[in-house]
Amino acid sequence: MWGENMRDKLIQVLEVISGLQELKVKDLAIQLGVTTKTVRNDIRQLNELLASKGLDQIVISKGTIYNPFSSTIMKKFIQMANDNVQDDSYLNPQQRIIFLLMEFLFAKDPLFLVELQEDMQISKSTMDNDMRDLRKLVQPYGLRIVTNHTSGVSVQGNERAIRMMFTDMFSHQPNILDIVRDRFKWSTILVNEARKVFNNTDVIYLKKILRDIFSDSHLGVNDNYQQQAIVLTMVWLLRVQNGHNVDTDADTDVATLNDHQSEFVNAIIGHFGLKIIGKSEASYLAFTISSFDSDEPAELENWAKSQIICLALIEWMEETLEFPFSKSESLFERVYKHISALIKRQSRSVNAYNPLKRTIMQSYPEIFNSVKAFFLKRGQEYQMNLSDDEIGYLAVYFSTTQVEICQEQVRKYRIAIICNYGLATGRLLAAKLEEHFNVDVLAILSVSELDILNKIPVGLVFKTVDVEIAGFPSLKVNPIPSVKDVQAVANFLKEHSKLSKYEENQLEPARLFNNILIVLKKNSIDISNSLVFELRRVFEKNRLKINEREVQPMLRDLINNSQIQLQVPVSGWKDAIMRSAKPLLDENYIESRYVKAMIESVEDYGPYIVIGPSIALAHARPEDGAKKLGVSIMTLAHPINFGNPENDPVKIIFCLAAVDNYSHLNVMKSVVRLINDQDKVERLADISDINEFCKVLFGPNETKEMI
């Protein structure tokens, strides 16, 4: 069955070649305004229709199309192509691939091509072409389509890769669940096949339990994620029912399930009457499904990685697009949760399909390309290879934040005015420009003062006299602007929109709060918790709301000299963790069980705490014994290996006591910046004097005594 667009294309091809015995492929491509490849594909589609009717085919040889039919017969073909829109017995190449994939998924034993050929009502040559296309599709997953004339055809390869391939193919447009529900005009053959493999009753059941069990999370309300989770579960169900299991020895997902995961897996096993031996399959399903749930807490081994990537991405976006994304209270939380789920998906070979990908790419190209550029540059460092689908999801968070912040800010142009009619006239022009446009007039100058332009932060210049302004876009206007001048200024500003700067419409309480603390600190006033509390009360009484995450302590605020240990000899990585934690333990920031939890987590999950070249960040969960926010730093007399080949040996260890996901973010920012400055890491690792260490760590003008 063809859609109307396909029908119209093929009818157009038939109409052009009707009455012609020969025609060059390139000439037909020019007439139709398409590529020669498209022409060849269209002729192939026509030949499939002709073959299904037992008729001769149109031949392409050495770049020439040979038409064996008369113009009268060609008219009949045009009518046949037109009628084919309603032909329920015909599958186009894309639909045949979907059909074949469903057969491979549903079958317990290898298939026979002759039977598939009869089911789809196609010729042997068409079947051979389809199998070539299918082999190309599965090849990127490391899979093979193996054919044996006696035992049949099957998909072979790693079981996880096979499931990933099926899930990807059935999640993309057209989504298999749309075919099951017959939302569009699909061929009856295809719809029946889809309903055989993806039973509609099962689909409805899965949607219900996803909504019920994950009702308080992202997975419970996001239709797109639900559809992908349903497809993934159905693929898992059919593979398990047909005796295809993941390799238990290679499975790293055997772990304790949380309440949601246990409830979901038990519901599936009970409803479908499955007999699951061992934990690997239950773990596979539970953790794969949870990778679509961005509200699921980050796993400990990925907690720091998720936060580091999130902070680095936000900082990158700010610098690249020159937009204050970090002012958003919610952006970090949104991106952090998505990246945590993304890391889970990548570790379990699950791809998230984004149906709005192309719309996002077209609507927000700068944001999309900036996110993509970040992962192209840093992806290898973070061991992440993102698809455009995943980049599209992240781009949405930034575009949403941009809109939200823009509602509280305006873009302004910083301008200078060159006027030779006197200061009063220049001020009048300035007033008129400020009345009509979002501009800040930074200077009103005469022609003799042009050199001042290079000393002030202006982007554009307006002038009342013909004079060349080197290095700045400029526009001549009348001293008293006319309607025509106003329109010219509007066009000029639009042309140079990238030179506008964001300026806040209102007072920023968090910045004011921080500035007050800095002034107090410079005047040797002790910043106690009670003083901070009283200041916040004053702000609240004056209706100045403080974003708590913007007044988080900096690394320099948390560290005292007793928490810095330099050139410490250690016997191994366990000893390194224990020694780095000692200052926090001695000063009652953590309990002894927190130290034990840090060591056990490395034993359980590997050297995940080695977060960058030469740097480790020892940490555990807040509930493992963190009493208050704190951090210590230790350099090693001799670097040691934790078992991380990319980042070993470790020279500097941070020990972090975090009480939540957010209060330590400024500390994490400092760590991220240090990771990206390996020269600084090397200098710090060699220092043995604490004051010198602080000068290098915090800047040349600040020691710990000053901060």
CA distance 435 to 202: 64
CA distance 493 to 478: 16
Q: What is the DSSP string of 650-705?
A: EEEEEEEE-SSSSTTHHHHHHHHHHHT-HHHHHHHHH---HHHHHHHHH-TT--TT
Structure tokens at 147: 């054919």
What are the residues facing 22 on neighbouring strands? 66
> Is 24 strand, coil or helix?
strand
Q: SS3 breakdown of the chain: % helix, strand, coil, rounded to 5?
A: 60, 10, 30
Q: What is the DSSP string of 170-221?
A: HHSSSPHHHHHTT-S---HHHHHHHHHHS-HHHHHHHHHHHHHHTTTSGGGT
CA distance 333 to 496: 34
CA distance 668 to 658: 11
Specify whether the CB–CB gap between 99 and 189 falls below 8 A: yes
Structure tokens at 639: 């670097």
Is 619 one of the catalytic residues? yes
Structure tokens at 515: 């500035």
Find where tokens 């059909």 sit: 99
Q: What angle do CA 704, 705, 707 make, to 5 degrees?
A: 65
Specify whether the CB–CB gap between 657 and 643 falls below 8 A: no
Catalytic residue among 260, 338, 619, 664: 619
Find where tokens 């993941």 sit: 246
Q: What single letter denotes the amino acid at residue 560?
A: N
> Is 153 strand, coil or helix?
strand
Pairing, β 564-568 against β 615-618:
unpaired
CA distance 466 to 481: 16
Active site residues: 619
